[in-house]
């Protein structure tokens, strides 16, 4: 059987994800090859993601390689994938999820005791939530991979960074965590903590089945399907300060999701519970509830601005 060519971005965290997928495939006896691809999102670091083009800036070049059959699969952080991949691409597997919460990291353990700490982030959601829940803090736009951001932190461009625990843990920077943010307030973005496998819809069915068997974690998949259906109904991308987190208990899903205005003043958050086999229906239903309870107005305001 031919090697499974794994397409990935070149950052240390992206490569960690690619090697992780490679290890899962090798456990099932598959030969692999890792192909590193630079994306627009890796090149343009002086602007906020929402100004560059949203989540697609991390996936466009990888999708080109899928279309051209230069790679067989593309490995992404699930949170970086657009909610609608269009007719030519699909996700066929999600890995077992890491803890989903955000953390504040710094080289200064007392940074949050300052009168007005400056937190670095490139996320419109995190920026808005800081304004809502941590009004004594300021935020500054901080783009780049994890190592680039930590370098900027060390240079004094901010007092601390807000990051996903998953990436901090995978890169072994747990010692820099000064505060763990609870998901009840700082609800994470859709998909945080899981690695997703994207393919061309023309993938050979037998190969798709083998990849799913090696990589997919069913419990995590139910949660991700619910969250992604929620975001899709909102028509949300990276520039939308939406959030969603599904938790599995026995055969039931509890999905919490909502949207916050960029200035942090308006927050719409709702919850829905249901059977895991209705994961996507639950996500869509929650989105409708959010839209009907103030979410639509926040989205309209975002389009104006």
Residues with a known catalytic role: 80
CA atoms within 13 A on the CB side of 188: 31
Whole-number Å distance between alpha carbons of 179 and 101: 11
Instruction: Decide: helix, strand or coil at residue 293.
Output: helix
Instruction: Decide: helix, strand or coil at residue 96.
Output: coil
Whole-number Å distance between alpha carbons of 126 and 110: 21
For 176, phi then psi, to 5°, come to: -90, -5
Query: 40 is written with which tokens?
Result: 């627009």
Query: 49 is written with which tokens?
Result: 């993601």
Whole-number Å distance between alpha carbons of 301 and 305: 6
Please name the helix (run of DSSP H) or strand (run of DSSP E) that holds residue 5, with its range, or none: strand 4-8
Distance of CA 260 to the CA centre of its chain: 17
Looking only at the bridges linking them, the beta strands covering 267-275 and 195-200 are unpaired
Query: 286 is written with which tokens?
Result: 């929650």
Provide the sign of the torsion angle of the four alpha carbons 50, 43, 64, 32, taken in this order: negative
Whole-number Å distance between alpha carbons of 190 and 186: 12
Residue count of the chain, please give it: 305
Residue 32, C-beta contacts closer than 8 angstroms, at least 6 positions apart:
3, 4, 5, 6, 22, 25, 26
Instruction: Decide: helix, strand or coil at residue 82.
Output: coil
């Amino acid at each position: 059987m031919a090697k499974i060519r794994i397409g990935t971005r070149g950052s240390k965290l992206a490569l960690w994800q690619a090697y992780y997928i490679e290890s899962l495939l090798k456990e099932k006896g598959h030969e692999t090859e890792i192909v590193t691809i630079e994306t627009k999102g890796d090149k343009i670091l002086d602007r906020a993601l929402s100004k560059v083009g949203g989540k697609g800036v991390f996936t466009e070049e990888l999708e080109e390689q899928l279309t051209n059959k230069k790679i067989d699969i593309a490995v992404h952080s699930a949170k970086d994938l657009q909610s609608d991949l269009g007719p030519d691409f699909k996700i066929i597997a999600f890995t077992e999820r890491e803890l989903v919460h955000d953390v504040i990291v710094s080289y200064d353990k007392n940074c949050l005791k300052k009168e007005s700490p400056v937190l670095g982030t490139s996320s419109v959601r995190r920026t808005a939530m800081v304004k809502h829940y941590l009004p004594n803090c300021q935020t500054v736009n901080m783009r780049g991979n994890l190592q680039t951001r930590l370098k900027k932190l060390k240079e004094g461009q901010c007092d601390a960074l807000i990051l996903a625990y998953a990436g901090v843990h995978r890169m072994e920077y747990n010692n820099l965590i000064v505060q763990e943010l609870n998901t009840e307030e700082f609800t994470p973005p859709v998909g945080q903590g899981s690695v997703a496998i994207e393919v061309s819809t023309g993938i050979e069915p037998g190969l798709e089945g083998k990849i799913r068997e090696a990589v997919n974690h069913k419990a995590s998949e139910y949660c991700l399907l619910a969250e992604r259906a929620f975001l899709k109904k909102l028509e949300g991308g990276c520039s939308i300060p939406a959030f969603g987190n599904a938790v599995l208990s026995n055969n039931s899903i509890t999905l919490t999701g909502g949207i916050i205005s960029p200035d942090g003043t308006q927050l719409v958050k709702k919850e829905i519970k249901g059977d895991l086999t209705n994961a996507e229906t639950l996500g869509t239903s929650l989105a409708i509830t959010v839209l009907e309870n103030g979410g639509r107005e926040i989205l309209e305001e975002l389009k104006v601005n």
